[in-house]
Amino acid sequence: MLRLALITSVAAADLGADGELLLPALGLLGIAGIPVGWGVNLEAGAFDGAVIRSASDYIDDPRRFLDWCGETSSRMPLANPVDVLAWNSDKRYLRDLERAGVAIIPTLWVGPGESLAGIPWERFVVKPAVSAGARSSATYDRSGLAEACRHVDAITAGGVTAMVQPHLRSIDREGEVGVYAIGGELSHAIRKAGVLRGGAPPALDLSLGRHQEVVPSPLLEEHVQFARAVLDGVPGGPDRLLYARVDMAHGERGELLLLELECIEPRLFLEHAPARAGAVAGAFAAWLEGHVGGGARPEG
The arithmetic mean of pLDDT across residues 74-79, rounded, is 97
Q: Are 129 and 260 in contact (CB under 8 A)?
A: no
Helix or strand or coil: residue 280?
Answer: helix
pLDDT category at 205 given cuts 50, 70, 90 is: low
* DSSP-derived pairing of the beta strands 49-54 and 2-8: parallel
The overall average pLDDT reported for the chain is: 92
Full set of structural domains in the chain with CATH:
2-80+274-294 (3.40.50), 93-263 (3.30.470.20)
- Residues 249 and 251: their CA atoms lie apart, in Å, by 7
Helix or strand or coil: residue 102?
Answer: coil
Burial class of residue 113 (count of CB atoms within 10 Å of its CB; 0-12, 13-18, 19+)? exposed
Q: Are 300 and 78 in contact (CB under 8 A)?
A: yes
pLDDT one-digit tens code per residue, 25-47 = 999 999 999 999 999 999 989 99
Is this model's pTM higher than 0.75 or not?
yes
pLDDT one-digit tens code per residue, 254-291 = 999 999 999 999 999 999 999 999 999 999 999 999 99
Distance between alpha carbon 209 and the CA centroid of its chain, in Å? 12
* DSSP-derived pairing of the beta strands 108-110 and 162-166: antiparallel
* DSSP-derived pairing of the beta strands 176-182 and 185-192: antiparallel
What's the sign of the alpha-carbon dihedral 222, 225, 229, 231? Answer: positive
- Residues 166 and 121: their CA atoms lie apart, in Å, by 6
- Residues 276 and 216: their CA atoms lie apart, in Å, by 12
CB burial readout 156-181, b (16+ within 10 A) else e = beeebbbbbbbbbebbeeebbbbbbb
295: pLDDT strictly greater than 70: no
Q: Where are the beta strands (DSSP E) in the chain?
A: 2-8, 31-37, 49-54, 78-79, 108-110, 123-128, 138-141, 162-166, 176-182, 185-192, 214-217, 243-250, 256-262
pLDDT one-digit tens code per residue, 164-183 = 999 999 999 999 999 999 99
pLDDT one-digit tens code per residue, 227-243 = 999 999 999 999 999 99
Among residues 185, 242, 186, the alpha carbon closest in space to that of 51 is found at 242
**Per-residue model confidence (pLDDT) at position 197:** 73
Compute CA distances 260 → 50, 105, 170, 266, whole Å. 24, 9, 16, 11
pLDDT category at 118 given cuts 50, 70, 90 is: confident
pLDDT category at 296 given cuts 50, 70, 90 is: very low
pLDDT category at 292 given cuts 50, 70, 90 is: confident
